[in-house]
Amino acid sequence: MDIIPPPSELNAPPPTVSPNGEDLDVDRIEADELPVRKLTHVSADRGTAFTVVIQRSTLNAMHVHGKSDTAVEVCGVLVGELRHDRISPYLLITANIAGDKASSRQTQVTFTAETWNMVQAEMEAKHPDKKVVGWYHTHPGFGVFLSGMDLFIQDNFFNLAWQVAWVYDPLAEIDGVFVWRLGKSVKADFLIEEDVDTHGHDFRSTLAAGSHPVVVTARRTRREQLANLALLTLVFLACFGIIWYGMVWMASHGFRVRLPIER
């Protein structure tokens, strides 16, 4: 993959991180100067090391972009912030910006200058308080790994200790994230946080008018009541008919139709 460097203002490192040599390591990121944020509704238990956390809506959006064209690689950047809680620092990925202006081929994608201009404009408009925390691209049918060119991109253009590379295979539907450790990009575990776009979502808001479960239940109850009433009416009429026919038959055969019945 080829890439043109992003505008430098999108990648200003925090003052506690030095991107040189073995200092390029997520485990060297200090929590002291990072804002505190408690993690909730995550997909698994968390260890004590630096953790990559992606919000569910962002992961879904990235998957949609990745599946939009599986004949070529597609790419984009990841947006987020560094935070820490009582356990350790973590990277929270809160959005993605699709590289719609990037040129793509089967095994190559290019971030053009136009792509970076679009990224910068969207960062300023929608994410002014966030950072570009990495990039993502797809490997349709190739699996999750960083190729030599991918490593070159990461080494030269996403070389801050908290910047990650995300790889998604849309055919196998598998993800992988790569972080800096001792100056090298290595695969790491990640957690998914259920965010406001998905957690506690009320599916009823997407239903057509009149299809709300309460309305449907009320209509079903009324239908059942009418069906029961109709059934009782039919049973009554049938019983009345049997009795009437019986009385007529007995009268025609010389019985006095009264209680007790006499002949």
- Res. 202: pLDDT tops 60: no
Identity of the amino acid at 255: F
pLDDT for 257: 59
- Res. 13: pLDDT tops 60: no
- N-terminal to C-terminal alpha carbon distance within the chain: 109
What is the rounded average pLDDT of the residues 247-255?
A: 78
Identity of the amino acid at 206: T
Which two three-digit tokens encode residue 260? 């007790």
pLDDT for 136: 96
What is the rounded average pLDDT of the residues 197-226?
A: 50
- Res. 31: pLDDT tops 50: yes
Distance CA 178, CA 137 (A): 12
pLDDT for 3: 45
Q: pLDDT tens for residues 171-184?
A: 999 999 999 999 99
pLDDT band at 20 (very low <50, low <70, confident <90, very high): low
Q: What is the mean pLDDT of the chain?
A: 80
Distance CA 75, CA 72 (A): 10
pLDDT for 141: 93
Distance CA 59, CA 43 (A): 13
User: Omega into 19 within 30° of 0, i.e. cis?
Assistant: no
Residue 139: closest CA among 97, 108, 163, 177: 108
pLDDT for 11: 44
pLDDT for 227: 85
Task: Give 24's contacts (C-beta < 8 A, 6+ positions apart).
Answer: 18, 159, 160, 161, 180, 182, 183
Q: pLDDT tens for residues 49-93?
A: 999 999 999 999 999 999 998 988 899 999 999 999 988 999 999
pLDDT band at 48 (very low <50, low <70, confident <90, very high): confident
pLDDT for 207: 42
Centre a 10 Å sphere on the Cβ of residue 198 and count the other Cβ atoms it contains: 15
Give me the sheet containing 131-138, strands edge to edge: 184-188, 174-181, 164-169, 131-138, 75-84, 89-98, 51-55, 190-193
Residue 3: closest CA among 113, 160, 159, 120: 113
pLDDT for 208: 45
Distance CA 21, CA 127 (A): 30
Q: What percentage of the chain reaches a pLDDT higher than 90?
A: 45
- Res. 226: pLDDT tops 80: yes
pLDDT band at 206 (very low <50, low <70, confident <90, very high): very low
**How far is C-alpha 61 from the chain's CA centre?**
7
> Residue written as tokens 């200092």?
23
Between 246 and 189, the higher pLDDT residue: 189
Q: pLDDT tens for residues 105-152?
A: 545 566 778 888 889 999 999 999 999 999 999 999 999 999 888 998
pLDDT for 109: 64
pLDDT for 245: 83
